Amino acid sequence: MTVLMIEQRFCRWLLPGLAAAAGALCSVGLVACKKKPPPLPAAAPDPQRDWREDGPESAESVAPPVPSPGPGAAVPVRCREQPQASPFRIGELVTPRTNDPEDGGPDDDDEVPDPYAVELGPARADEEGFTLSALRSVKRQTHALIAVVAPDAASGKLIDLGVVHGDPDPPLFVAGGKDLWLVTPDTDAGGGMLRVGVIRDPRGSAHLSWGPEITGVRRDSTFALEAAGGGHALLAYAAEVAGKIGVFGVLLEPNNPKQKLTPEPLSAPGADVDSPRLAVRNGGYWLAVARALDAPKGKPKATSSDAGPGVVEEESLLDIGTRRIEVTKLDAQGKAVSSALVVTAPGARPMSFELASGADSSAYIGFRADDSTPGAAGGALQLVHVKLDGSFEKLELSGETNGTGTPSLLRDASAPGGLWLSAAGENGGTIFGRVRDKSALAGDSLVRGGDLIAAREGKLLLARAKGTAAELSLLVCDQ
């Protein structure tokens, strides 16, 4: 399942109701802060490594140092890193900050992501290894790219998709036989746009061609891409119509470069709906969206604050409002075949969420609930299982269950029960665990400072920062 995920460690995907209350903080309209996973935390470069900006993606190296936990933090050891001659790297070994004698040392501002750091996009496992998308800076221009990686994450190659503009998200992709079908966000003079393309034989000749474009897309729009077979893929994206945010779907035929695209609404007219997620099920797709709800009317509640007594809560620009997550079954043509199922409790404030399908084609939705203001530390993670008969249940999570970003659901199609839940923890580390009826989440000393981005054959793919680059390695972890 493709959706933008990767990642550390501030507000990644704020959902639609926020913008109406926090327009001064985010973009205009009911879409809030851009769904933009921050780059991985930077680590010091290894002077023994030599790397060329546009050279082949391989280099002799040693394993990167494991970041130490913060003071007083006890981080368990659950994972073992698999041996590699050298990790596969995307980007350059460039120190994001210079050693200025007048700098005064590190402070909170050092956590701001470097503008030239590699930004990883979605990652997928397949029969031949892993595939992921990314953005990186080349001569102060942002290039979109696809990386195809060997099963041991020690080698691979990059496929440059060209320059993109306007601070976009990394590309989405899905396998179409031996090819890769692409949707790449970009910006032209008229605003946001999505470019549809295909890479023939990405692990071989890697021939790239572009087809139709979707224009008039909001620059901060969220979108999702999946393929259920039949020579086409479904793209879902958010757009504004008549002052309301809605979700639209387009059935893509990447092998037809002259296809005329005809978007169809996937959400009811007049509703503010955003943040589409797609997952494949038998016979079609699952669609999950976030719907903003009208604020309940009532007597304003006055509270004391630094600004003085009598501050009315409902007038706060930081009130994120309420919303709910709705799940719908779609057929292979992207048409709804069920009514929307609401999987969050009344009055909930799900800040961000992720969708994945299980081995039996049921759906899992992981989300972070939070009734605090934007920029707060985080909130409790929740996991819901939607069954094929349309019923659903909330699964029990134990251990470290507070997260600060969008949770990730990593599916390992080759392993029984191969679904993992991962999220950024409150202490700056990554918490994760295998999805079960009762799932336990915890961190690990190897994973701390990195991100789990894919799962394959019982192993987890870990991304770490190295200067402004990203390095990949494989872990075997306890449940």
Integer Cα distance of 137 and 176 in angstroms: 28
DSSP SS3 for 237: strand
Integer Cα distance of 403 and 423 in angstroms: 6
Q: What is the pLDDT of residues 95-154, one digit of tens each?
A: 555 445 554 544 444 443 556 789 999 999 999 999 999 999 988 899 999 999 999 999
Which tokens go with 376?
């707060």
DSSP SS3 for 408: strand
Report which listed range, 92-96, 157-161, 236-240, is most confident. Answer: 157-161
CB 14 within 8 A of CB 33: yes
Burial class of 438 by CB neighbour count within 10 A (0 to 12, 13 to 18, 19+)? exposed
Q: What is the pLDDT of residues 13-64, one digit of tens each?
A: 333 333 333 333 333 232 233 344 444 444 433 433 333 333 333 333 334 4
Q: Does the pLDDT value for residue 422 go beyond 60? A: yes
Q: Does the pLDDT value for residue 259 go beyond 70? A: yes
Integer Cα distance of 144 and 163 in angstroms: 6
* Domain 17-98+118-296+315-477 superfamily per CATH: Peptidase/esterase 'gauge' domain (2.130.10.150)
Which tokens go with 197?
């393309």
Looking at the DSSP assignment, which residues form a beta bridge with residue 452? Answer: 462
DSSP secondary structure letter of residue 21: H
Q: Does the pLDDT value for residue 168 go beyond 50? A: yes
Burial class of 167 by CB neighbour count within 10 A (0 to 12, 13 to 18, 19+)? middle
DSSP secondary structure letter of residue 171: P
Share of the chain above pLDDT 90, in %: 49
Integer Cα distance of 258 and 157 in angstroms: 29
Integer Cα distance of 139 and 278 in angstroms: 35
Q: What is the pLDDT of residue 310?
A: 44
Mean pLDDT for the stretch of residues 189-201: 90
Beta strand residue intervals within 230-272, DSSP E: 232-241, 244-252, 264-265
Q: Higher model confidence: residue 179 or residue 270?
A: 179
Integer Cα distance of 475 and 153 in angstroms: 10
Alpha helices in 79-208 (DSSP H): none
Q: Higher model confidence: residue 344 or residue 43?
A: 344
Distances (CA, A) of 233 to 178, 229, 238, 279: 14, 7, 17, 11
Torsion sign, CA atoms 113, 119, 122, 128: negative
Amino acid in position 427:
N
Residues in the chain: 479
CB 58 within 8 A of CB 51: no
Task: Indicate left, alpha or beta for 108 from its phi (over 0: left) and psi (-120 to 50: alpha).
Answer: alpha
Backbone angles phi, psi at 203, to 5 degrees: -90, 0
DSSP string, 287-311: EEEEEE-PPPP-PPPEEEETTEEEE
Tell me the pLDDT of the chain averaged across its residues. Answer: 78
Integer Cα distance of 62 and 60 in angstroms: 7
Burial class of 333 by CB neighbour count within 10 A (0 to 12, 13 to 18, 19+)? middle
Q: What is the pLDDT of residues 384-396, one digit of tens each?
A: 999 999 999 999 9
Q: Collect all residues with Cβ–Cβ distance below 8 Å to 13 and sequence separation of at least 6.
A: 4, 33, 35, 222, 275, 351, 352, 353, 406
Amino acid in position 4:
L
Residue 150: closest CA among 79, 85, 71, 106 = 85
Confidence (pTM): 0.77
Integer Cα distance of 447 and 464 in angstroms: 9
Split at pLDDT 50, 70, 90, the class of 420 is: very high
Q: Collect all residues with Cβ–Cβ distance below 8 Å to 238 and sequence separation of at least 6.
A: 31, 218, 221, 222, 223, 245, 246, 247, 248, 273, 274, 275, 276
